[in-house]
């Protein structure tokens, strides 16, 4: 077991975070957040989602956000796409990277994207084909890898099956999502070990929500197995609109602080990242969910 030398942090706050905040922010504020995150050194900032605005109104202005963004050279700005309509919107907005999202639980798939897992994979096939033909990079998410809000425990074998299906569709990277944040370190390792038995670790990412306060411990457990890509949201924003009670992603500031302490390079300036977190918390009128951000600001939770 060895930690990776470098970790790529995928900043998902502007999408996974803001999709579930009660307050829908103006596009200009989202742009300012994304630019601050890029300036802090985030190599990948998930910028929005071309999903149905009826389902997730908070993401309705993704095209406007992308149009207003000064893109920083070397930074990737992926967006979520659930179907061909979403892909067309992404192509029109000049997006270079998209993520499709499936689930390891049937009930969650139905609630989140209104179809079965098999139907979602069928729906993604033409999306993936067209995205590849347009030269886009493709990421695949698997949700509910450690538990489902409707079905409870999810077997690692199901996570492996859906991950492989996404890989066959052409996803370069598979992000394994503990959507409702119920996982614990041993379970996280067992699930990651099962998937890494079938796919190279270098193509896997971990995505933990922090509902039960286990996210950082789970990430550490997965780093021990050598995972090199970690999703996180600045200030621990958000949750998931189709997973009641799920809290935000692990806070990016907390992950970066831990990586710094472990001597693992991620290229992100913690002070600038925390500043981006302060900016967005002020805009939302809510406190940060990052303990590191609070400590740096001289406050305790
Ligand atoms: P549906 O209602 O079955 O779809 O929703 P539909 O094809 O019947 O379309 C319904 C209406 O939406 C139509 O409009 C479509 O045109 C429109 P109407 O004719 O009624 O006026 N529509 C769209 N509009 C804009 N962009 C589109 C689009 N597609 C349809 N792309 C659908 C199916 C998949 C569209 C819907 O369920 C949906 O958008 N779901 C997205 C839900 C979502 O965004 N969830 C959060 C992201 S996943 C997540 O957070 C987990 C993750 O973080 C990892 C983890 O934590 O595990 C990734
Ligand atoms: Mg998520």
Q: What pTM was estimated for this model as a whole?
A: 0.97
In the predicted model, residues of the chain with pLDDT beneath 50 are none
Q: Which two tokens stand for residue 250?
A: 């692990």
Residues, Cβ < 5 Å to ion ligand 2: 16
Q: What is the pLDDT of residue 112?
A: 93
Q: How big, in percent rounded to 5, are the helix, strand and coil portions of the chain?
A: 45, 15, 40
Cβ pair 102, 141 in contact under 8 A: yes
Q: What is the pLDDT of residue 24?
A: 86
Q: What is the pLDDT of residue 299?
A: 72
Centroid of ligand 1 to alpha carbon of 227 (angstroms): 30
Cβ pair 4, 227 in contact under 8 A: yes
Cβ pair 251, 234 in contact under 8 A: yes
Would you say domain 8-296 falls under CATH 3.20.20.70? yes
What single-letter DSSP state applies at residue 18? G
Give the three-state DSSP class for 244.
coil
Reported as a single tens digit per residue, the pLDDT across 65-101 is 999 999 999 999 999 999 999 999 999 999 999 999 9
Q: What is the residue extent of each domain of the chain?
A: 8-296
In 3D space, the residue among 248, 247, 268, 246 whose CA is nearest the CA of residue 257 turns out to be: 268
Q: What is the pLDDT of residue 246?
A: 67
The CA R_g of the chain, rounded to the nearest whole Å, is 17
Q: What is the pLDDT of residue 223?
A: 98
Centroid of ligand 2 to alpha carbon of 180 (angstroms): 8
Q: What is the pLDDT of residue 243?
A: 58
Torsion of Cα atoms, 110 then 112 then 117 then 122, to 10°: 110
Nearest CA to ligand 1 atom 21: 54
């Amino acid at each position: 077991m060895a930690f990776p030398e470098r970790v790529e942090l995928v900043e998902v706050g502007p999408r996974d975070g803001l999709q579930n905040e009660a307050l829908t922010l103006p596009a200009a504020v989202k742009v300012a957040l994304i630019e601050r995150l890029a300036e802090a050194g985030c190599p990948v900032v998930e910028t929005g989602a071309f999903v149905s605005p009826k389902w997730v109104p908070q993401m309705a202005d993704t095209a406007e956000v992308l149009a207003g963004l000064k893109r920083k050279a070397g930074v990737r700005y992926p967006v979520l796409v659930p179907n061909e309509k979403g892909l067309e919107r992404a192509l029109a907005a000049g997006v270079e990277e998209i993520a499709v999202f499936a689930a390891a639980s049937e009930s969650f798939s139905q609630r989140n994207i209104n179809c079965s897992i098999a139907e979602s994979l069928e729906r993604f096939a033409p999306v993936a084909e067209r995205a590849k033909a347009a030269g886009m990079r493709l990421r695949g998410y698997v949700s509910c890898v450690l538990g489902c809000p409707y079905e409870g425990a999810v077997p690692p074998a199901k996570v492996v099956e859906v991950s492989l299906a996404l890989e066959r569709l052409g996803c370069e990277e598979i992000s394994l999502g503990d959507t409702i944040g119920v996982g614990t370190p041993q379970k996280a390792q067992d699930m990651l070990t099962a998937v890494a038995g079938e796919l190279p670790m270098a193509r896997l990412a971990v995505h933990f929500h922090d509902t039960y306060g286990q996210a950082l411990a789970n990430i550490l457990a997965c780093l021990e197995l050598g995972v090199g890509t970690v999703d996180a949201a600045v200030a621990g924003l958000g949750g998931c609109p189709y997973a009641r009670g799920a809290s935000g992603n692990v806070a990016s500031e907390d992950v970066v602080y831990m990586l710094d302490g472990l001597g693992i390079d991620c290229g992100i300036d913690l002070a600038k990242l925390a500043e981006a977190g302060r900016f967005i918390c002020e805009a939302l009128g809510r406190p940060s969910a990052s303990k590191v951000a609070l400590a740096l600001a001289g406050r305790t939770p």
